[in-house]
Structure 1
């Protein structure tokens, strides 16, 4: 169970990473934590990559259609400029950001900010994805969420791409991806 720390000050911030496969509830958990921070009257800024327009150009929207307003950005350094005098920073789809994101998160934590980051830990080839490995290494708290395998009903850690396309980044939903357990992911197209 996650326990929220209550320390603020010089380098009194921290980094929380929420990771897992597609359809595991990462964005839902991010939104839940950010809404709780707002209820506590903390100043919150929320960011998402500008390329993620699946549900909305501005809002972060979960698969369950829960949503929260955010600022789309194309460069993680902009977070430092836009997140002045805040208590909490939320970042969704971290795997799509540039290689400066881990340093940006470190800088914010050293300013005393609580940084909550959500993203896919592995791509569709089951390889570490984007900036997530560095963020997981720097995180003070990690929450790994699991989906349910669409083939057998077991716990799923993998995002299986159902259509042929070798681009590493391919935005999509249930028409393109499905969560699978290790066994069903490994068997791959033999199950289709």
Structure 2
């Protein structure tokens, strides 16, 4: 688990921190918390998000609780390298929407001594590992898995159940399109 006593270590060495979980689990909230702490510590911070994520804002990372921080939308993971000069901390939200090159980008940044904090869905609505997230979890120095609360029974929820029609893997959505479910409730939904 992420340990804030490592904060001094990040000045000397790069690292990759991954925050993953289902929708509505607080991934972006945790990302914002860590980035704000880095800013408070007077570290130079740059935040990126995929350009396709325009749900709440074109230029801000916004949590479902409406907390936000200014970010740079990018089309391709390679752009992050170009825009990350002279920073100490890089934040990346909605990492599952990036291309597979994001893993190499994060590795390069960390190798340059930059603290990289990545947040994203670990699985899609079919419980399939999503985009570069499995690879990022594998190379991370630290992985934090956060959980939502199942809207059916109140247990910890691991899964993002899509409640609207559509088979496309990428479909931006909120509570009208998705709901967090635990394993038991997710399986019951599949059988119904």
How would you bin the TM-score normalised by the shorter chain? over 0.9
Question: Deviation string for 1:4-40 (max 9, x for gaps)?
Answer: 3222578x20000000000000000000000000000
Whether the 8 Å contact between 1:22 and 1:178 is mirrored in structure 2 is yes
Number of residue pairs matched? 190
Where do 1:76-87 residues align within 5 Å?
76-87=77-88
- How far, CA to CA, are the matches of 2:136 and 2:143 in structure 1? 10
- How far, CA to CA, are the matches of 1:132 and 1:105 in structure 2? 12
Whether the 8 Å contact between 2:11 and 2:88 is mirrored in structure 1 is no
Residue 7 of structure 1 is matched in structure 2 by: 9
Where do 1:16-31 residues align within 5 Å?
16-31=17-32
Name stretches of at least 5 consecutive residues in structure 1 with no aligned partner: none
- How far, CA to CA, are the matches of 1:186 and 1:143 in structure 2? 25
Kindly report the root-mean-square deviation, in angstroms, between the aligned alpha carbons of the 2 structures.
1.3
Report the 3-state secondary structure (helix = DSSP H, G, I; strand = E; otherwise coil) of the residue aligned with 1:23. coil
Does residue 178 in structure 1 map to residue 173 in structure 2? no
Tell me the TM-score normalised to structure 2 length.
0.96
Report the 3-state secondary structure (helix = DSSP H, G, I; strand = E; otherwise coil) of the residue aligned with 2:117. strand
Tell me the TM-score normalised to structure 1 length.
0.96
Name stretches of at least 5 consecutive residues in structure 2 with no aligned partner: none
Q: Which runs of 4+ in 1 moved over 2 A?
A: 6-10
